[in-house]
Structures are given as structure tokens and as C-alpha cells.
Amino acid sequence: MKTTLKTLILNCLLASCFITVHGQDFYASQRASWLQKAKESIPQLTVTEKKPIGLVHIIKDENAFQQYKAEQTAPINTLYDNSFKETKAVIVDFGEHITGSFSFSTELLKAEADAPARFKLTFGEVPSELVTPFDPYQGGLSRAWLQDEIVTMMTMPSTITIPRRVSFRYVKIELIATPPGYDFCISGMKCDAVTSAVNTPGKLSAATPQIFKDIDRVSLNTLKECMQTVYEDGPKRDQRLWLGDLYLEALANNYSFKQYNLTKRCLYLLAGLSEYNGKLNATVFETREPKPQAKQHLYDYSFLFGVTLKDYLQETGDRETAEDLWPVAKKQLESAYQYLQDDGTMDYERASREWWIFFDWKDGLHREVAFHGITAFAFKETYELAKLLNKENEVAQLPGLIKKMKKAARKHFYNPKTGLFTGKLNDQVSYASQIWMILGEIPTQKEAQRSLKALKTTENVCTPGAPYLFHYYIEALIKSGMSQEARDEVAEYWGGMIHKGADTFWEVYDPKNEFLSPYNFFPVNSYCHAWSCTPTYFIRKYPEIFQK
Amino acid sequence: MKTTLKTLILNCLLASCFITVHGQDFYASQRASWLQKAKESIPQLTVTEKKPIGLVHIIKDENAFQQYKAEQTAPINTLYDNSFKETKAVIVDFGEHITGSFSFSTELLKAEADAPARFKLTFGEVPSELVTPFDPYQGGLSRAWLQDEIVTMMTMPSTITIPRRVSFRYVKIELIATPPGYDFCISGMKCDAVTSAVNTPGKLSAATPQIFKDIDRVSLNTLKECMQTVYEDGPKRDQRLWLGDLYLEALANNYSFKQYNLTKRCLYLLAGLSEYNGKLNATVFETREPKPQAKQHLYDYSFLFGVTLKDYLQETGDRETAEDLWPVAKKQLESAYQYLQDDGTMDYERASREWWIFFDWKDGLHREVAFHGITAFAFKETYELAKLLNKENEVAQLPGLIKKMKKAARKHFYNPKTGLFTGKLNDQVSYASQIWMILGEIPTQKEAQRSLKALKTTENVCTPGAPYLFHYYIEALIKSGMSQEARDEVAEYWGGMIHKGADTFWEVYDPKNEFLSPYNFFPVNSYCHAWSCTPTYFIRKYPEIFQK
């Protein structure tokens, strides 16, 4: 049996030429047409003029999210009607999260403009961004992501448009160089908001509890803001397509805006920008020419291409695209084959040296078990896709491998006493481990329920750090038949953001630590982040759980 | 006689309806056509691409102008060939003073751009501007005149063009937000330099001493930089037409670029934007719509309109324009008539409450004598213009007034013992007083020489503060037959700026105080200023003095 498996795997590897000669393109015959198809699917952005709704003060409030809240102080006309030379600084509220091109205008009140003025504009998605000093900057990402810009207005009246696209609800405008010789007011401002989302999602059942209506609305806003010429991860930061975010955005889109062409574009873009050896890059850039970010290979993300393709096929029936891109989905499996050992376990130690294995933004998370789980999940999902395309024969080995892996996981990771899955290398009990064992269909439904419940009563459990893993947690709960728990967790986690004033869902949300940042500075977190948008998928896919 | 003069003046005033009803436009029949002619004369700007010549360090040097000098350190390719992520900050030298649109480009060196970068650019006309901290700003003009701009480059490779027009020789580029994930270089930069000067001035005599060749060259550069769609006062600051600067620029232009259409445009613009009561505004703006700066009436500047018009007529023979604008020149005289007293002196005390009487940027300068002098000068020059246009009858009173004023000045201001002119109100001995008595033709040539010489041996003389008055000083020396002194003073004063490294002549230059600023902060001074450009006029008008 051992020899058979080994031979099987070796044959797979050789057959698909995983080890390519440098410079020889595994997808040579298809790459150009994939990139062409990606280009042809670039969606039109719709532009909507947005106007501010009022002025706010950002005030300290221990009970508010990150200890700051915006309090409406005056209608916007208060700004337009008065000397800005006297006002000097305001915070303007647009009433909703917006992504687009911001401009503001001035008018003279007294005398002619005989000297330039200078303004500092600070755009914030959440109140704390408007009042937290950005400098000296200690964050781990580029300081330039922070949305403060200084502009010089050489003459008045005039209008200045900020060159960068901004993503915000609030904008602080400060006069930082006051011309002594004349007086003026800010006479208007607008943001030309952009999105590629145009369809209107269906209405929820009237019986839907308010909290799920709210969560659905904010999910849709989040997704809409991220839908640009690709599914971006976050319109403030990083403004680009990531494989992991794509999967979740496509899921949510399937149940809401149903703009399948954007999913198609992103799949083709990622395929067209894959490595010559066949591996997908986890993130790509659109400008100037489409290009991948080199050396960004996420083991877990790479399999989500096939899963997204399978969902896309099921939603659209677009067999042509699915067949066209099938080789990419299949090819990713080889990243798993190489670590699969004779005993059905994976060589996690080697893989963790060779890959970025993500799963979650969570310091201290041990990923060995989840690594095994997602591999089984990938095999299962890809085999499903193969079946839809009548290509089972190309991956005939998968059912056998899944079985083998299941057996090995139960033997090495499952603790029948506690009902929990833990690693061989580390006995950490984590949500990630249980979730990915369940999504990989290792435990029975009963065992799955037991493990998920045990998480609540076990000490020192490694909890999810970001909404990304929380999505898979809800998926695992539903898969395990724990509808009520899924409902409660969505209401508590995403509802928690709603209660804290979220207009869009956040990249990072730990209810116990609102200042958590993977980048060492919470204002550089994204507060409108694709991977948080999936409640709309759950709410709309499972009306029996959420819409009653 | 007293009664006669009084009646004469009163008749003048009434005849020309100086006291207009509010809203009734003295130039109603002509204003629109003047503005139209100003518009039709807008010159084409020529654009020349300028490239930097090298990198410099700005180093402290007690002997250098404002204690800093630029020292070439490396060719410009050193910048282009190396990582700017490592370099972080450079000062680039364009080798000459430039006014225009600056842009710079980046190229990737390693990995793809996954985050924005941010740059601070500081443009300087002189070395000290690059190293003197601008903040906390204590200057008296808008901080925004200082040419430092912060820009965010959202992706690379790309090119950013600074929105404002800049005026500089040196540009400091600092990387103030470093993206951690990739490396890049600055791959190029340029400035699209603009000017409306296109003609090439004639060559100086080969025998011209080098210092006058240099002074002529820098004068021409200064004028060229100020020649835009109007004669600007300074391309860095204030970037607009001032009557006093216009006069000197037109003078210099008459002997160099000979672009008379620009003079014509400026005269029409000032006429078209004059007050309804007929008074000229001292400064006007071109954008968006041409408009005057309200309440900027300079007594001495207002007469320079007529003088410029007279010179223009003599240079071009364009009688149509001169006749068209004659009413404006004539009308300005009324500003003088109202202060002229029966005894032939002027009511300076009242005038100084009602006008900005400029003459020079010089604290403590007493202007009573110069006020009298420029009035006589204005009467004389305007009468000359009238004669050229055969309109003496319209200002027939002028010769009588001039005679009266001369007599009064000699009586009240001239001290035969010292040979110097001093005021009734204050016994200050100033250059300004002697200069304007001479230009107003109060003293004989012999007396004029004596007074100018006495300035050099008298204690506590109030010296000129800015090149503007220095121009009139040279004019007075030449008028008084003191050619050698005129030559020496040009060589010493403007030559002094040359020796201190001037690429263009400065707004303010006191050889004894290089940090002098009328705005309380020397970096906000203009270092390319129209009113300093007149040596080219002297050198070319008087070859027998300067070109041998």
C-alpha cells in the first residue's frame, strides 16, 4: 500500500511536470488568452456624487470603539456659510463609507486672494483615525497608506481634487497656512464614489431580525466598496486582489450582487499572472501592466482558486471558463502532493519552511492541523470540480488520498478524550485546527459538534484573530449542524462591530482588543475589508437560520 | 497768484469729475475694450524642458551668501543609478534659475510596488532655502509661498507632477514614507520651464568688462523668468503684475527682449482694472477672471503708468495705444493735485494717511521729500507724454505747477550749507530724498552732484533697502552726469549679488545684512525679482558708461 501510494504520487508529479525548467512556461499555450480574457472583463466603474451630511466632533468616550466617537455638531452649511480662516479646522461626516475621488472648493469672502493657502486633509474610515497622531510612525507597513494629504491652493476661488483615491467616512480639513490678506470659506465638497457593483441584491425576508438586517446591509456595503476593477481586499489598503479575499468576495457576490463577470476577471487575472511553474501568486497588481507580487505564495490561499472556480461554475453554468481554467486548479494540488507522506500525514515542518501558511492573523497560532485539514478540503473540492467537468480521471487518485489523510488525521490529531484536534508537534487547542478538520471532513458531524462545543469550555484556546478565520468558523458550525450557534456567533461577532458603529466590516476585530493590529499601529488597519463581508452570504444562503 | 493757482486746480478737479458718484464708472466708455485688448495681447508661453545637472550638498560657509553654499558632489546619474530607498534624501541642482512645472519619475529595482511611498520636495532659489527650517513659521506672508510640497506616489513606476508652478534652481527630494516591501530609484526628473520671452537680446560690445557682462546676463535671466502672461514681480512670489515692477521691467525690455506686446498687455490690464473713480490699482490678478487687488493704491506707483506709456510710445510709435490710454495717465495726476498747497508744497501729512507711499522697503524712511519729488517727476513726464500726443492743452497747468513746486522744494527742503535735501517734518538725510529731488529736477546738475556726493560723507544717512530704490539711484547718478559713480555703484551693488552667487537678482539686498526681510523671514523673500532686473537697461542704454 505504501509503495502504491508513493508511486501514485510520483506519477502525478512527473505527469504534470511540476519541476519545470527555468523559463519554460507550464501554461504557455493559454497564458496570453487568459490575460486577454481578464482584460475583456474589466468592469465599468459607476461614479456617484456623494455630499457630506454634517460636521462632527470626535470625542473621547471610553465606551466607544477605540475610545472615540463622532458626535454631530452642526449641519454642513455651518461650514459653507462661515469664514474658514476663522474656523481653521473641521471634521466633516459623509454619513457613509465612501471610496473615490475627493474634491473641495473655496470662495472668497473678503478681498482678492493675494497668496496661496495650504490645507491638510485627513481621511478616516473610523473616528479614531481622525484624532490619533500618525507621527512618529511606528507601523509595519508604509506610512503612506495613512490618508493624510497636504495641498497648496495657489489662488481662490478654486477647487482641489486629491490625486489619490481615498476611502473614508470622515474627513478632517485643517488650514495649515493662513494667508493674512483675505478671507474665504470652504464653499463645497464632494466625493465621486466609485464601485463596479451595480446590481441590487434581493430583499431579505421581512421576518429577518434587525441585527441580521443590519449585518447584511453592512456586509453589502463592505463588498460594494471592495468591488472595483478587481475584488480588492480593502479600498483603503492594500487596494488589490488577494486570492483568499477573492474566494470570500465571490461567495458573497454569488448571493447578493451576482456580478459574475468580476469573479471571472479575477480568476483569469490570477491564472494569467501565475508562475511559470504553475503556482498561483496570492496577490496581483493591475497597474500599470498587470503583474503578480513575487514570492507571495500562500499555501492555503492557492487551493481557493479551484473552490472559487467550482462555485462560479455552479452559479453560472459557464463551463467554457471552468474548463479553460481547470488546469490551474488541478496544478495547485501538486503543492500538497509533495508534502504528503506515506502514512497519510503531511510534512508540515518542511512545508512551513517553504510556504507562507496563513489561516489567520494570529500570533502564536500553530498551523499543523489546519494545514492537514485544508489539504483534505482542497482535494475534496477539486474532485467535486473535476466531477462537474467530467474530468475525474485526471485526478483519480484524490478519493484515495482523502481517505488516507482522514485516517491519518484521526490517528494523529484527534483526542477522543477531549474530542479536540491537536497537532503532533504542539498540543495547542485552536479554533483553526477544529475548523479545518471539520471543513476537511475528518470528524463525523457528532464529533465535529463535540469539538466545536469543547472550544467554549477549554482553557487557553487559541481564538480567531481576524474575520477571515471567523468566516470558516461559521461555515464549520453550519456544516456541523449547529445552526443556532452559527446564528449566535454571527450576531455576536459581526453584530459586535455593528454595535460599535461599523459602517463597513473591519480587517481586524478582536472584541477584547480593539487596538489589535498586525501592523503594530491600529490606524493603518483597514476598516472596510473584503474578508469580513461574508455574513451576507450566510444570511442569504441560509434563510432558515438567519431570516426568521 | 495764490487765488489763481487754487482756481486752476479746482477747475482741473471739476473738469475731470474726480469725485464720481459711487458706481459711476469714469472709464465707462473704454473699460470693456481695454480689457479685451489686454486679453488679445496674452502672450504664448514657450516651454523648454530642463534637466538637472548634478547633486549638491548645501554646506555651511560663513563667507557664502546667507552662510550657505551649494557644492557639487556627484553627477545626476548617481541618483538615477542607485536605490532611493537607501539614499533617502538628495539635493538636485538644475544649474540655473527655472520657473515651471516640475515632475519626477521612479522605477522599481526589486519586487513590485505593494504600497505607496511619500516624498517631500523643497524647491529653493538660493541654497539657504534648502536647509533653513520653515516651521514654526514666523513670517509675515502666507506660509504657503514657501515651496515645499508633500506628495504620495500610490504605485510605481510612475511620474508625479507637482501641481503648483515652482521657481527654483535647487530641489531637495526626501523620502518621508518608505515602503518596506520593495526597492526603487528615482529614474528621472525635469522641469518644463515657461516664459513669454522669446527674442534674443543683442550682444554687448566685446570690450564690456566681465562684471557688466555677468550683471547683464543675470539681469536678463531675472527679466525672462518674470516675463510670463504678465510682467510678474517675482515668479516664486507674488507671481503677479505690480505697477512699480511693470515700469522697470518695461524699461529693461525696451533695451533687451523688445517684446512690446507684453508691455501693452499690462498697460491695458491695469487700465481695464482701475477703480471706477479713475485711480489705478497697484496690483492685479489674472485668474480666474482678471481682477484688481482692492485697496492697494501706491501713490508713487500710480504715476509710473504714464511714464511707462510714454516710453512705450517712444519705443514703438504705437500712437493708437498711447492715445487710447492717455486718459488714465492724465487722471492719475489728480491724486497729486489734491495735496498741492498754495505755497507749492504738498500736504504730505494728509497724503500719508490716505495712501501707501512706498519708494522702498526700508524701515524708518521718511518720505516727505521723495513724495514731493516724484510728484514733480510725474508732472514733468506726463507733460512730455502730452506733448508727444499733441495734448498739452489738456494739461496746460503742468509747467506752472512744476515751476511752483520746484521753487517750494528749494525753499523748504534744500539746505545750501550741506547741499542736501531734508524734510520740513524730519531732518533725516536719505538717498530716497536726494534721488527724487534730482529725478524731479529740483536741483541744478551741480547741486545734484553735490547732494549725491554728500550722501557718502554724511553720518546716519538712510540708505536704500531694496534694489527698487537702487534703480532710481543709478538713474539719478547718470542724470547728474556722474557716470563713473553710476558704473561703480552698479558694479558694487548688483556685482555684489553676482559675487555671492546670484543666478537671478533678488527682491531684497542689503550688502550688510543678508538676512534682511520685509516679511520677517528671509526664505520667503523672492530671489528672482523684477525690480532688480534693470542693470541690463543701464548697460545697454549707456554703452559709453558700461560697455567699455
Locate the chain A residue with the closest alpha carbon to B142: A179
Q: Which residues of B touch A286 (CB under 8 A)?
A: none
Across the interface, whether the CB atoms of B180 and A295 are under 8 A apart is answered no
Query: Same CATH topology for B2-43+197-546 and B46-195?
Result: no
| Alpha-carbon distance B143 to nearest alpha carbon in chain A (angstroms) | 5
Kindly report, residue by residue over B358-393, the tens digit of the pLDDT: 999 999 999 999 999 999 999 999 999 999 999 999
Taking residues B219-246, what's their average pLDDT? 98
Q: Which residues of A touch B151 (CB under 8 A)?
A: 163
Helices (H), B413-528: 431-439, 445-457, 467-479, 483-499
Kindly report, residue by residue over B147-190, the tens digit of the pLDDT: 999 999 999 999 999 999 999 999 999 999 999 999 999 999 99
Q: Is A288 on the interface with B (CB under 8 A)?
A: yes
Closest CA to A538 of A480, A468, A499, A483: A483
Peptide linkage before A136 cis (omega within 30 of 0) = yes
**Of the candidates B115, B157, B287, which has its C-beta nearest A144's C-beta?**
B115
Whole-number average pLDDT of chain B? 95
Along the 548 residues of chain A, how does pLDDT read in single tens digits? 344 445 444 444 433 433 344 579 999 999 999 999 999 999 999 999 999 999 999 999 999 999 999 999 999 999 999 999 999 999 999 999 999 999 999 999 998 999 999 999 999 999 999 999 999 999 999 999 999 999 999 999 999 999 999 999 999 999 999 999 999 999 999 999 999 999 999 999 999 999 999 999 999 999 999 999 999 999 999 999 999 999 999 999 999 999 999 999 999 999 999 999 999 999 999 987 899 988 889 999 999 999 999 999 999 999 999 999 999 999 999 999 999 999 999 999 999 999 999 999 999 999 999 999 999 999 999 999 999 999 999 999 999 999 999 999 999 999 999 999 999 999 999 999 999 999 999 999 999 999 999 999 999 999 998 999 999 999 999 999 999 999 999 999 999 999 999 999 999 999 999 999 999 999 999 999 999 999 999 999 999 999 99
Across the interface, whether the CB atoms of B144 and A293 are under 8 A apart is answered no
**Of the candidates A112, A142, A292, which has its C-beta nearest B116's C-beta?**
A142
Q: Which residues of A touch B154 (CB under 8 A)?
A: 164-165
SS3 A180: coil
Kindly report, residue by residue over B393-436, the tens digit of the pLDDT: 999 999 999 999 999 999 999 999 999 999 999 999 999 999 99
Q: Please give the pLDDT value at position A295.
A: 80
**Of the candidates A117, A118, A144, which has its C-beta nearest B118's C-beta?**
A144
Amino acid in the structure at residue B370:
A
Across the interface, whether the CB atoms of A180 and B292 are under 8 A apart is answered no
State residue A165 phi and psi, 5-degree precision: -70, 135
Mutate to test the interface with A, among B101, B152, B237, B238 (most CBs of A within 10 A): B152
- Chain B (225-264) residues lying within 8 Å, Cβ to Cβ, of chain A: 238, 240
Q: Which CATH class is domain A2-43+197-546?
A: mainly alpha
Q: Whole-prediction pTM value?
A: 0.93
Helices (H), A333-482: 334-337, 348-354, 368-388, 398-412, 431-439, 445-457, 467-479
| Alpha-carbon distance A152 to nearest alpha carbon in chain B (angstroms) | 7
Q: Is A294 on the interface with B (CB under 8 A)?
A: yes
- Chain A (84-113) residues lying within 8 Å, Cβ to Cβ, of chain B: 111-113
| Alpha-carbon distance B99 to nearest alpha carbon in chain A (angstroms) | 15
Across the interface, whether the CB atoms of A155 and B112 are under 8 A apart is answered no
Residue B7 scores a pLDDT above 80: no
Across the interface, whether the CB atoms of B150 and A150 are under 8 A apart is answered yes
Q: Please give the pLDDT value at position A15.
A: 38
| Alpha-carbon distance A109 to nearest alpha carbon in chain B (angstroms) | 13
Locate the chain B residue with the closest alpha carbon to A113: B293
| Alpha-carbon distance B89 to nearest alpha carbon in chain A (angstroms) | 17
C-alpha neighbours within 13 Å on the C-beta side of residue A334 = 21
Domain spans of chain A?
A: 2-43+197-546, 46-195
Across the interface, whether the CB atoms of A145 and B115 are under 8 A apart is answered yes
Residue A29, CA distances (Å) to A25, A32, B3, B512 in order: 9, 8, 107, 77
Q: Which residues of A touch B118 (CB under 8 A)?
A: 142-144
Locate the chain B residue with the closest alpha carbon to A240: B114
| Alpha-carbon distance A493 to nearest alpha carbon in chain B (angstroms) | 30
Across the interface, whether the CB atoms of A285 and B112 are under 8 A apart is answered yes
Q: Tell me the CATH number for domain A46-195.
A: 2.60.120.260
Kindly give the interhelix angle for B398-412 and B2-15, rounded to the nearest 10 degrees: 130
Across the interface, whether the CB atoms of A150 and B149 are under 8 A apart is answered yes
Whether the complex's predicted ipTM is more than 0.85 is answered with yes
Residue B82 scores a pLDDT above 70: yes
Q: Which residues of A touch B115 (CB under 8 A)?
A: 141-142, 144-145, 238
Mutate to test the interface with A, among B106, B107, B114, B149 (most CBs of A within 10 A): B114
Q: Please give the pLDDT value at position B190.
A: 98
Contact yes or no for B187/B96 (Cβ under 8 A) = no
SS3 A238: coil
Kindly report, residue by residue over B440-456, the tens digit of the pLDDT: 999 999 999 999 999 99
| Burial (0-12, 13-18, 19+ Cβ within 10 Å), A49 | exposed
Amino acid in the structure at residue A405:
M
Across the interface, whether the CB atoms of B150 and A149 are under 8 A apart is answered yes
Across the interface, whether the CB atoms of A294 and B111 are under 8 A apart is answered yes
| Alpha-carbon distance B236 to nearest alpha carbon in chain A (angstroms) | 11
Long-range pairs of A9-18 with CB within 8 A, sequence gap ≥ 24: A9/A337, A9/A340, A9/A397, A12/A334, A12/A337, A12/A397, A13/A334, A13/A337, A13/A338, A16/A278, A16/A330, A16/A331, A16/A334, A18/A277, A18/A278, A18/A334, A18/A338
Residue B5 scores a pLDDT above 60: no
**Of the candidates B137, B150, B293, which has its C-beta nearest A114's C-beta?**
B293
- Chain B (333-392) residues lying within 8 Å, Cβ to Cβ, of chain A: none
Across the interface, whether the CB atoms of A144 and B111 are under 8 A apart is answered no
B7's grid cell: 482756481
Mutate to test the interface with B, among A114, A161, A183, A238 (most CBs of B within 10 A): A114
Across the interface, whether the CB atoms of A115 and B141 are under 8 A apart is answered yes
Kindly tell me the sign of the dihedral angle through the C-alpha atoms of B445, B446, B447, B448: positive
Across the interface, whether the CB atoms of B142 and A180 are under 8 A apart is answered yes
Contact yes or no for A114/A203 (Cβ under 8 A) = no
Distance CA A70, CA A124 (A): 11
- Chain A (163-192) residues lying within 8 Å, Cβ to Cβ, of chain B: 163-165, 176-181
Closest CA to A222 of A545, A543, A526, A547: A526
pLDDT-derived band at B352 (thresholds 50, 70, 90) equals: very high
Q: Please give the pLDDT value at position A121.
A: 98
Residue B9 scores a pLDDT above 80: no
B499's grid cell: 559675487
Distance CA B217, CA B503 (A): 9
Q: Please give the pLDDT value at position A288.
A: 79
Q: Which residues of A touch B165 (CB under 8 A)?
A: 154
CB pairs under 8 A between A and B: 113
Residue B241 scores a pLDDT above 50: yes
List residues bridging with A493 in a β-sheet.
none
A194's grid cell: 466609485
Kindly report, residue by residue over B181-218, the tens digit of the pLDDT: 999 999 999 999 999 999 999 999 999 999 999 999 99
List residues bridging with B151 in a β-sheet.
B119
Cβ-Cβ contacts under 8 Å for A87 (sequence gap 6 or more):
A79, A175
Across the interface, whether the CB atoms of B155 and A288 are under 8 A apart is answered yes
Peptide linkage before A292 cis (omega within 30 of 0) = no
Q: Please give the pLDDT value at position B22.
A: 54
Q: Please give the pLDDT value at position B121.
A: 98
